[in-house]
Amino acid sequence: MKLTSDSLATQLGERLLPVYLISGDEPLLAAEAADAVRARARGAGFTEREVHFIERAADWDELRASAANLSLFGARRVVEIRLASARPGTAGNAALVAVLEARDPDTLFLILTPRLDRDAQGADWVRAVEAHGAWVQIWPVDSHRLVAWLKGRCRRLKLEASDEALELLAARTEGNLLAAHQELTKLTLLAPEGRVTPDTVLASVADSARFDVFRLGEAVLAGETARALRVLAGLRAEGTEPTLVLWALSRALRDVWSARGGGQPPAWQQRHRAALEQALRRASRLPFAALARRAARADRMIKGRVAGDAWDELALLAADVCGPRAM
C-alpha cells in the first residue's frame, strides 16, 4: 500500500506491517516517519535494531546473511536498510526481493531512500514492498502549504500563533522545514503563555543583524540605491548568510510583481506599503525576467555551482531592483 506522512500515524495505530519503505528528500519529515515506525515496532516487542548502510556491492551479501540469521536470543528485530541511491542495481534489487519474500515474522524491515523517480518506482523490490507492507512517500511542503503546516506544528507544541506571525515565520524559513521546526521549538521557550506574535518571531532571531534584511527589502522597494547598498555592505560585514539576503531581495521583487497584478502584501508587511507604492511607480520599467535570472545566478553562486562572488551579484541585483536610474 501507499501512504503519506500524514496517513502513516493512522495506519500504525491499526497494525504493524512487516516492511516500510520511506522515500523522499525532505529530511525532517522522513526522519519523523522513520521514528514513528521504530517507536511502534518497539511497542510491539521488536527490541533489536540492525542498521545497514548500502554503499557497495558486498553490502548486499552482508544484508542477505544478516536476514538469514536468527536474531540474538530469539528477540524480534528491526532491520534498517539505508540506500544512498534510489536505484540499488540488479544485485540490490534481487537481494531486497529475496529478504522481503522470506516473510520472517520476527523481522521488520525499514528501508530509507532518496526520492524514487518514475523508473525506480516500477522496480521489483518496490513492488514487493507494496505487496507485503507500505511505501511512505515524503513530499516537500511548498510555500503555499507552509503556513498550514506551521499551524499544525503549533497545535502539537501547544502554541497559539497569529496568522501574521506564521506568515513571517514561513517567509523566514521557506524551503527549510528543519529550520522552521527549530524556530517553533525555540518559541515554546520564548513565547509568553504560548502566544506567538510577529514581534515574538523577530525577537527569537539570535543574530540581531538579521533584522536589517527587512530594511534592505524596504530600501530596494523605495528605490534608495545608496541606502540599499549601505545596508547590504553592513550585512556582509556582520557575517549574515547570503541566502537570507537573497531571500529579502527576491521577496521585494515578488511583492512588486504581485502588487502590480493587484495583489496585497501580507499584513505584517503593511508598514512597507509606502515603499511598495514607490516601487509600483517604476514597475513598468523593471525587467522582471532579467532580475529573476540574476537572482537565480546569485543562488547558484551561493551554492558554489557557478564561479563568482555572490555578494557582488547581490549588490547588482539590489541596484537593478532599485531601478534603471541606479545604473
- CATH number of the domain that 199 lies in? 1.10.8.60
Same domain assignment for residues 129 and 231: no
Same domain assignment for residues 218 and 318: yes
Strands of the sheet with 46-54, listed across from one edge: 2-4, 134-137, 19-23, 107-113, 76-83, 46-54
Angstrom CA distances, 45 to 74, 106, 139, stand at 12, 9, 30
Mind giving me the DSSP string for 77-93? EEEEEEESSS--HHHHH
Q: pLDDT digit string (tens) for 256-292?
A: 887 776 655 554 455 566 677 777 777 777 888 888 8
Same domain assignment for residues 232 and 166: no
- CATH number of the domain that 285 lies in? 1.20.272.10
- CATH number of the domain that 67 lies in? 3.40.50.300
Same domain assignment for residues 322 and 232: yes
Of the listed ranges 214-228, 238-252, 257-271, the one predicted with least confidence: 257-271
Q: pLDDT digit string (tens) for 115-166?
A: 888 888 888 999 999 999 999 999 888 777 888 899 988 988 888 888 888 8
Same domain assignment for residues 110 and 159: no
User: What range does the domain containing 187 cover?
Assistant: 143-203
Question: d(Cα 59, Cα 37) in Å, to the nearest integer?
Answer: 24
Same domain assignment for residues 11 and 38: yes
Same domain assignment for residues 25 and 119: yes
User: Whole-prediction pTM value?
Assistant: 0.61
When divided into structural domains, the chain yields a total of 3
Average pLDDT, the chain: 83
